[in-house]
A and B are shown apart, each in its own frame.
Chain A
Amino acid sequence: MTDYVSILSIDLSLVAPELVLLAAAALILLFIPLRKMVFLAPVIAALAFILSFYLAVGQWHYSGSGFAGLVTCDSFGVMFKLIFLLASFLSLLIARRFFVIKGIDKPEFYALLLFSVIGMMVMANTVDLVVMFLGLEIMSIPLYVMAAFNRRSLESNEAGIKYFIMGAFASAFLLMGIAFIYGAAETTDFRRIVADFSYIVANYRIYLYAGTALILVGFGFKVAIVPFHTWVPDVYQGAPTPVTGFFSVAPKAAGFAVMLRIFLYGFERIELLADIFWVLAVLTMTVGNIMALRQDNVKRMLAYSSIAHAGYIMIALVVGGSEAISAAMFYLVAYTFFNIGAFAVVTILETRSGCKSDFVELAGIGKATPYLSAVLALFMFALAGFPPTVGFFGKFYLFSAAVKAGYIWLAVIGVMNSFVSVYYYLRVIKTSYMDPYEGQPAVVKLVPSIFLVLIITAVGTLGLGFFPQKLLELSQAALFAFL
């Protein structure tokens, strides 16, 4: 018998964090018939996230590949795994309470959340296009269902359908692109494509270009860069709010993990690619910010704001190089803290009956719940990029990477966009503190789980703002074992 386990280096410790989540998801699905066990589902999921986080941290110094080269473990991937786990853990804490209040608390949600995170981790943990695609699908299918999870609300159903159709389109584009690349390179393994790059360019240039363009379109949909962003506002508004918070962070980070890998450590030698990214980054920032100015719904505003933030992160794709990549990672970690924090506050406010998160409903919360609105104000300052929050340093590192690489205009446009964004972020603060309101503003009740989320995110936003060095060192260290 041939010893395939050692020939193919099948090493389960490479995928241990994923396996933990998979086991937890299976457990939850098996618990569903036992009605009295339903409350355990979020507990199991939370414990799995913590255990998986611990195992992922253990992979930090390990770099290597297994499963016939299809799993690649490096600290870049681990960094992104930690981002996914953090975002999903926080979303889980927010979601439980919200779903109980809305009467749609079902254990399947937690299983879907776990599955989705497994998909993201698979994406971050490979340099093979086929595995990347499978990871993307494992991530996306639960997301469609999660968007439509509030089945009593037509808006939530619409969000699910829209997301599903656009996502299916994106997957088709991506698959076509992978097919083109495979046709040109005769492999889907990234390291071999990079090794044979000049040969492929010399002989099958046009297929490589077509494939790259289609892959860009596919991931463009997933991370919502302009002009592939049309689904975002409706989906973000329609989906249950904790799910929206999750959407705005984790799948975006997963998409950027893959895009940074593909476009900066393989295809950066394709001419014009940096220029294309330049245009897309500027478009994404500008359209996102300008559309956000005229929204009357906080969730819609945050949807456009997330598009704008994707534009800022795109700067790293234009600039390239280790400094820009670590700046992008820094930004994604920072963004996880303050964006999920903002969605946590929006979720709490939405638990008031009949609330749809319109701007007018914010009026008076400054008086009714001073602490909550103070935290909301903190997150808005961070989103706008004010010091001393971490949002400032995130933008600072990205823009300074652009300036150092000679993309002065890109940085200037980025800074101008940040100024535009100040208007709509401060509008939230202004409405909650200064706008007149009638009658008694509804008092919202804080529950321990959401309180914990607010503490974590607020401490993260402020603490990393005062001590950004630690996180910066971490994201710089995450590059060494790249590819």
Chain B
Amino acid sequence: MNLDTIVFLVSAVVAVFSATMMISQRNTVASVLYLILSLLAQAVLYIQLSALFLSAVLIIVYAGAIMVLFLFVVMLLNLRGNQDLGDKPSPVSRITKYLVSILLVVELVFIIRGIGFDTGTVGIMTLAADDFGSVAAVARILFTNYLYPFELTGVLLLVAIVGAVVVSKREKSYETPAGSGNMPDDRKKVEI
């Protein structure tokens, strides 16, 4: 067992553990912090795969910028401590979630048995071109072969910004003219 394998195992365990902790927390701030930990561990895995640029991006963009945004949102919503996150789920949904989880675990077992844990393929990548994972290599492929998706991403971001502005822009008046808005009175219960 060499150093590479030890680093891999440690960061893989940390990534999965903190991801699990993230979804099992009822405290949202703790969830966000666990997500950051998970992302940091994943960045280590990226480095081991020689994807240096991507791991830097993961830390700067996700662990840095996006997580700070998440924290802002959490604090704006004022969800503190063990504050309840809504109604208790109905018995049906409480049972189904365990059923679905068990199903997924069974599926996972089958997948692992299916690939038979061939250590040769799980090992660490060592044979890579010199500039593999560098900024230049990523940029070259991004702006040539993947030019079209790159441009589409630009459109997607524009759409998201426009959408966010439309939804959140303050309107001049919130008064409801008679008969125009249908305010909720006798909402039907959600069916099936």
Contact of B144 among A4, A128, A148, A204 (CB under 8 A): A4
Interface residue? A103 (CB, 8 A): yes
A103 B177 Cβ-Cβ under 8 A: yes
Known: A131-B149, A206-B110, A353-B179. A142 touches B144 (CB 8 A): no
Report the interface size class on chain A: 35 or more
Q: Which of A110-118, A190-198, A373-381 is the contact stretch? A: A110-118
- Point out the residues of chain A lying under 8 angstroms from B180, CB to CB: 101-103, 152, 353
A134 B176 Cβ-Cβ under 8 A: no
A152 B144 Cβ-Cβ under 8 A: no
Which residues of A102-152 have CB atoms within 8 Å of chain B's CB atoms?
Answer: 102-103, 106, 108, 111-112, 115, 118-119, 122, 128, 130-131, 134-135, 137-138, 141-142, 144-145, 148-152
- Point out the residues of chain B lying under 8 angstroms from A108, CB to CB: 162, 165-166
A8 B159 Cβ-Cβ under 8 A: no
Q: How far is the CB of B145 from chain A (nearest CB, A)?
A: 4
Interface residue? A168 (CB, 8 A): no
A68 B148 Cβ-Cβ under 8 A: yes
- Point out the residues of chain A lying under 8 angstroms from B166, CB to CB: 106, 108, 112, 145, 149
- Point out the residues of chain A lying under 8 angstroms from B171, CB to CB: 151
B147 A10 Cβ-Cβ under 8 A: yes
B181 A153 Cβ-Cβ under 8 A: yes
- Point out the residues of chain B lying under 8 angstroms from A207, CB to CB: 111
B156 A134 Cβ-Cβ under 8 A: yes
A154 B152 Cβ-Cβ under 8 A: no
Which residues of B154-192 have CB atoms within 8 Å of chain A's CB atoms?
Answer: 155-156, 158-160, 162-163, 165-167, 171, 174, 176-184, 187-188, 190-192
- Point out the residues of chain A lying under 8 angstroms from B114, CB to CB: 205-206
Interface residue? B146 (CB, 8 A): yes
Interface residue? B115 (CB, 8 A): yes
Interface residues of B, CB < 8 Å — how many? 39
CA distance A106 to B153 in the complex (A): 25
Interface residue? A287 (CB, 8 A): yes
B146 A68 Cβ-Cβ under 8 A: yes
Known: A71-B148, A154-B184. A138 touches B156 (CB 8 A): yes
B146 A70 Cβ-Cβ under 8 A: yes
Known: A206-B114, A233-B191. A115 touches B155 (CB 8 A): yes
Q: How far is the CB of B59 from chain A (nearest CB, A)?
A: 20
Interface residue? B107 (CB, 8 A): yes
- Point out the residues of chain A lying under 8 angstroms from B146, CB to CB: 68, 70, 130
Q: How far is the CB of A404 from chain B (nearest CB, A)?
A: 34
Which residues of A140-172 have CB atoms within 8 Å of chain B's CB atoms?
Answer: 141-142, 144-145, 148-155, 160
B182 A155 Cβ-Cβ under 8 A: yes
A206 B115 Cβ-Cβ under 8 A: yes
Known: A138-B155, A155-B182, A287-B192. A206 touches B111 (CB 8 A): yes
A210 B107 Cβ-Cβ under 8 A: yes
Q: How far is the CB of B173 from chain A (nearest CB, A)?
A: 10
B183 A153 Cβ-Cβ under 8 A: yes
Contact of B152 among A7, A122, A152, A287 (CB under 8 A): A122
B176 A152 Cβ-Cβ under 8 A: yes
Which residues of A1-15 have CB atoms within 8 Å of chain B's CB atoms?
Answer: 4, 7-8, 10
Q: How far is the CB of A175 from chain B (nearest CB, A)?
A: 13
CA distance A207 to B144 in the complex (A): 29
Count A-B pairs with CB separation below 8 Å: 111
Contact of A112 among B163, B182, B188 (CB under 8 A): B163
Q: Which residue of A lies closest to B153 (CB)?
A: A134
CA distance A154 to B174 in the complex (A): 12
Chain A, residues 200-227, CB within 8 Å of chain B (1/0): the string is: 0000111100100000000000000000
Q: How far is the CB of A299 from chain B (nearest CB, A)?
A: 11
Q: How far is the CB of A257 from chain B (nearest CB, A)?
A: 17
Q: How far is the CB of A21 from chain B (nearest CB, A)?
A: 10
Known: A70-B148, A111-B162, A152-B180. A160 touches B167 (CB 8 A): yes
Interface residue? A448 (CB, 8 A): no
CA distance A134 to B182 in the complex (A): 35
B155 A22 Cβ-Cβ under 8 A: yes
- Point out the residues of chain B lying under 8 angstroms from A29, CB to CB: 162
CA distance A29 to B165 in the complex (A): 12
A150 B115 Cβ-Cβ under 8 A: no
Interface residue? A356 (CB, 8 A): yes
Known: A145-B167, A291-B192. A150 touches B181 (CB 8 A): yes
Known: A67-B148, A205-B114, A206-B110. A155 touches B187 (CB 8 A): yes
Q: Which residue of B lies closest to A29 (CB)?
A: B162
CA distance A4 to B155 in the complex (A): 22
B149 A353 Cβ-Cβ under 8 A: no
- Point out the residues of chain A lying under 8 angstroms from B184, CB to CB: 154-155
Chain A, residues 331-360, CB within 8 Å of chain B (1/0): the string is: 000000000000000000000011010000
- Point out the residues of chain B lying under 8 angstroms from A268, CB to CB: none
Contact of A67 among B147, B159, B181 (CB under 8 A): B147
Q: A4, A115, A233 — which one has the most chain B CB atoms within 10 A of its CB?
A: A115
Give chain A's interface residues, CB within 8 Å of chain B: 4, 7-8, 10, 22, 29, 67-68, 70-71, 101-103, 106, 108, 111-112, 115, 118-119, 122, 128, 130-131, 134-135, 137-138, 141-142, 144-145, 148-155, 160, 204-207, 210, 230, 233-234, 287, 291, 297, 300, 353-354, 356
Which 5 A-B residue pairings sit nearest by Cβ, starting from the closest? A353-B179, A152-B181, A206-B114, A67-B148, A145-B163
14 contacts between A and B (CB under 8 A): A8-B145, A71-B148, A101-B180, A108-B162, A131-B148, A131-B152, A134-B149, A142-B163, A149-B166, A152-B174, A155-B187, A206-B115, A230-B192, A297-B188
